[in-house]
Amino acid sequence: MDKKNIGIGLIGLGVIGGKVAGVLLERGESLSEEVGQPIILRKIKVLEQDLSRPQAQEMEPHLFTTDEDEFFNTPGMDIVIELIGGEEPALTYQKKALLAGKHVITANKEIIAKHGAELAAMAQKQNVSLSYEAAVGGGIPLIMPFKRDLVANEIKGIYAIINGTTNYLLTSMSREDVDFASALKQAQKLGYAEADPKNDIEGIDSKYKLAILASLAFRSRIHPDDIYCEGVSRLSSRDFRYAKEMGYVIKLLALAKQSDGSIEVRVHPVCLPEDDFLAKVDGVYNAILVEGDLIGKVTFLGEGAGPLPTSSAVIADVVQVARDIVLGTVCRPVSRLQLDKKIKKMSEIVTRYFIRMNIADSAGVLAQIAKVLGDNNISIASAIQKEADEETKTAEIVIMTHPSPEKGIIQAVDELNRLDAVKEVNNFIRVEV
C-alpha cells in the first residue's frame, strides 16, 4: 500500500484547538502507528490575535495562516477539523471543506444539531465523512456507541445530565443551600460558568446535545426547535430543601423517550429519587443513561467538557477517519431515517409533579387547593405543609402528585394562582424515575 501521508488542517486555536494541535504534534508518531500511515498537521487557520497565544509561540510559524483561501488551498490536506464553535463562520467553513472533498471533524454541537442532516448529505454526496464525537459529552464515547455498539437495540430512552455548568450550579445549591444568583457568581469566579452563561443555564447547550443524541438513537431527525426547553434559573434553594425532605434531588435533565412510534424530547429541571444513579452525579460531571430493549440500562459517565477530554474525542475521530482513508473506505452506509415519528406536544406528556406554593394561613385553604387539583384529575401523592410565618400570615405547602397530564397541571396551576388563598405558585418541577 502506498505510504501516503494523511494531512490535517485545523480551524481554530482556542483552548480546544490549541490542545488538539498539541496532541497531533506531540503524539504524531504513536497516532501514525495506530493508523498505519503518517498523520501530518499541515495548516492551522487562526485569527490575528491567536498568534500571540503561548501555544502559537511554541509551534512553527509556517503552520499558521489567517487567510481563508490560503488555508483551503493547502496541498495534501485530507481532513479539516473545525474547532471555532458557534454558527458562523463555522458552518461556511465546514461546507467549503466538504465541497472541496475533505473529511470534516468538528466539536460544534450547535451546527450538528441544526444542520447535521444537511451536512451529512453533502458529505455522503462527496464521498467523505462527517464526524462529531466531541460534540456531545467531551471525551465520553457516545456518538460511535450509538452508531455501532447499540445498533441491535430499539432505543427506548435517553436520560442525560449533559451540561457541566448547570450540574455544578445545582450541586452547589443543593450542598450549600444557596440561591441561584450566588451559586452562579461563585461558579463564574471559579471558571465553571462563563461571563455570559445564557446557553448553559437556559438549557440551550443541553438541547443541542440532546437533538444530536436523539436523532442518532431514534434514527430520526430531531431539530433543536422540536425540543421543549426550560433552564435552571427559576430554581430556588427552597425547592432543593423540600425536594430533599421528600427524598429527591433536583437535576437539569435532557430526556428523550420513544414509545408507540411517538417521541418525547425535553430539557428541564427534574426531581430524581435520591437513590437513582443520575441523582448521585455531582459537580461538572456528565452522565448519559441509555435504555435499549436488549442492553437494558447502560450509563456513560465522565467529564463532559474541557480541552483535554474534548481533544481525546477529536483525535479519536482523526484516527478513525485516517484508518478509513488508508483502507480506501471512507463513506460508510447511512442508516435509512425513519422520518414518520411523531413528536409529542408538551401538553400530552404525563409525569409526576412537585408543586411549591405560598398560601394564606387560614382555615379551608388546603381543601380549596385539593378541590382544584381534583377537578383537574390530579391526585396528591404526598404533601408537606410548614408552620406559618407569624408576620406575613402565610404558609408554604409542597405537593407531590401522582402521574398527571401536563395539560391538567398547567390548567390547575393557573386556577390555583387565581385563588385568593394562594399567594403564589412558586414553582413546579417534573419528577422522573
Is there binding between residue 280 and a copy of itself (CB under 8 A)?
Answer: yes
Whether 96 sits among the annotated catalytic residues: the reply is: no
The answer to whether 41 touches 78, Cβ cutoff 8 Å, is no
* Mode of pairing for the β-strands spanning 380-385 and 394-401: antiparallel
- Give Cα 286 distance to the centre of its chain: 9
CB atoms near residue 402 (< 10 Å)? 12
Comparison of 319 and 370: residue with beta carbon closer to a copy of itself: 319
| Interactions with a copy of itself, residue window 137-196 (CB under 8 A) | 138-141, 144-145, 148-153
**Of residues 93 and 159, the one with the C-beta less far from a copy of itself:** 159
Nearer to a copy of itself, 116 or 138 (CB): 138
Minimum distance of a copy of itself from residue 280's CB (angstroms): 6
- Residue 313 touches a copy of itself, criterion: CB under 8 A: yes
Q: Which of 127, 335, 362, 417 touches a copy of itself by CB under 8 A?
A: 335
Count of CB atoms situated within 10 Å of the CB of 167:
25
Q: How far is CA 232 from CA 159, 256, 271, 349, in A?
A: 17, 19, 12, 20
Cα–Cα nearest to 249, from 216, 229, 278, 220: 278
The sign of the CA dihedral 364, 369, 371, 372 is: positive
Residues contacting residue 197 through CB under 8 Å, at least 6 positions apart: 165, 184, 188
What phi, psi does 248 have (nearest 5°)?
Answer: -125, 160
3 binds a copy of itself (CB under 8 A): no
Among 15, 25, 63, 308, binds a copy of itself (CB under 8 A): 308
Of 67-75, 197-205, 258-266, 310-318: span binding a copy of itself (CB under 8 A): 310-318
Nearer to a copy of itself, 2 or 48 (CB): 2
> For the chain, how are helix, strand and coil distributed in percent, rounded to 5?
40, 25, 30
**Binding residue (CB under 8 A) for a copy of itself from 65, 230, 300, 346:** 300
Please tell me which residue in 102, 209, 251, 257 is annotated as part of the active site: 209
Active site residues: 209
* Site residues, a copy of itself (CB under 8 A): 23, 27, 31, 33-36, 133, 138-141, 144-145, 148-153, 277, 280, 292-303, 306, 308-309, 311-313, 315-316, 319-320, 323, 326-329, 332-333, 335-336
